[in-house]
Amino acid sequence: MDKAAFESSFDEVVSGPLLGRGFVRRGKSHFAEIQGVQIGWVRGGGRFASPGSVAHCVCFRHAFLRDKESRVPVQPPGFPEHYPWVFDLELLPASTHKHWRFDPARLMNLRYGQYTFEDLDAATVRDDLNIRLAAFLRYADWAVTLSDSDAVAQLRPFAKDYWIARHWLEDYAARAGGTA
C-alpha cells in the first residue's frame, strides 16, 4: 500500500469515527476533551516518521493540569510531552489499563509506535486500523474514569525525582483544596 492509499484508509477507518465522536483533527492527529479529560491520538512526523509507515502514540491528561510551560491549556495540547499519560499506540491493542500508568521515562523519550503499511494489502491495513481504533476507544473510556486520587497515586512515587510529577501533583492538590 502506498502513502496516499494509507491516508485514505486512515481517514475512513479512524478519522471519520473519531470526528463523529467529537474529536477534532489537527494535522494528522486527533484530539478531544471528554468529561474534563483531554485525550489525543498523535501522529508523529519528522524524526518519528519513516517511509511506508506511520508513527503514533496516545496520550491523556485531566483538563485542569498545567502544561510544561505552567499554563492550563484551553484545548488539548498538540504535543504529547504536555500529557502525563503517554503510551505507544502499537502496544495499545494488547494492553490493558494496568499498563497505562504514568511513566516519566515516556516523557523524556517519547515512545511513538511504528506501524509499517507499505507491504500490506488494503484489507489488512483496514483491519489493523480498526483494531487500533477499538484499542484507542478503550483507552479513552479508561482515561475518563481515572479518578484524581488514582492519578495522584500514580504520580506520587515520582515526585522526588521528577519536577513534572511534582508540578502535576500541585495541580491535583489545588483542585482538592489541600495537599496531594
Mean pLDDT of 28-47: 92
Indicate whether 141 pLDDT > 80.
yes
Q: Is the pLDDT of residue 180 over 70?
A: no
- Under 8 Å between Cβ of 143 and 85: yes
Q: Report the C-alpha gap between 136 and 47 in whole angstroms.
A: 23
Question: What percent of the chain is modeled with pLDDT above 70?
Answer: 97
Check: CB of residue 93 under 8 Å from CB of residue 51. Answer: no
> What pLDDT does 107 receive?
80
Reported residue count of the chain is 180
For residues 28 and 40, give the distance between their C-alpha atoms in angstroms, rounded to a whole number.
Answer: 11
- Side-chain-side CA neighbours of 64 within 13 Å: the count stands at 12
Q: How far apart are CA 159 and CA 152, in angstroms?
A: 10
The pLDDT of residue 72 is 96
Is the Cβ–Cβ distance between 32 and 13 less than 8 Å?
Answer: no
How large is the C-alpha radius of gyration of the chain? 17
